[in-house]
Structure 1
Amino acid sequence: MQLLSIIQSVLAAIFGVQSRGKYQHDFNTSSFLPFIVVGIIVVISFIISIALIVQYVLH
């Protein structure tokens, strides 16, 4: 799978707007590891960005 497609799937799943067709396509892939890796990276990036925004606002 292409990296962009995996990122789109992860972001759509996080926001809860993934279509049924894309959902089924993702679950029919042979490996779930790329989705987990991208998901962890996206969540960590989100947490870091929120922490940086809070620090900036509080200063």
Structure 2
Amino acid sequence: MLEERESQTQTPESQPDRARSPGVLKVMQSILAGAFGVQSEKRRQEDFAGHSPWPYIVAGILFTTGFVLTLALVVRWVLSS
């Protein structure tokens, strides 16, 4: 019975680390580094260790869409000049 109470009153330091969602800045840094091909293996492993891949997937799709649209607009502008 004493053991049950002790396990219920654990401090946050004694509880295992829970996966926190990465911050917006960290996701953006990872997406940009990956897009330019300068992402280190260590950083890539940190990004996906214990985190959900969904923030990175969504940010990657948004970045790619924005990049392609920007290129299309620039090409259209250059060809119309």
Instruction: Using structure 2 for the length normalisation, give the TM-score.
Output: 0.68
Instruction: Provide the secondary structure at the position in 2 that maps to 1:40.
Output: helix
Equivalenced residue count is: 59
Aligned-CA RMSD value: 1.0
**Where do residues 1-59 of structure 1 align in structure 2 (5 Å cutoff)?**
1-59=22-80
Whose helix proportion is higher, 1 or 2? 1
Runs of 4+ in 1 over 2 A off after TM superposition: none
CA drift of 1:29 comes to: 3.1
Percent pairwise identity: 42
Instruction: Using structure 1 for the length normalisation, give the TM-score.
Output: 0.91
CA drift of 1:39 comes to: 0.0
Structure 2 unaligned blocks of 5 or more: 1-21
Structure 1 unaligned blocks of 5 or more: none
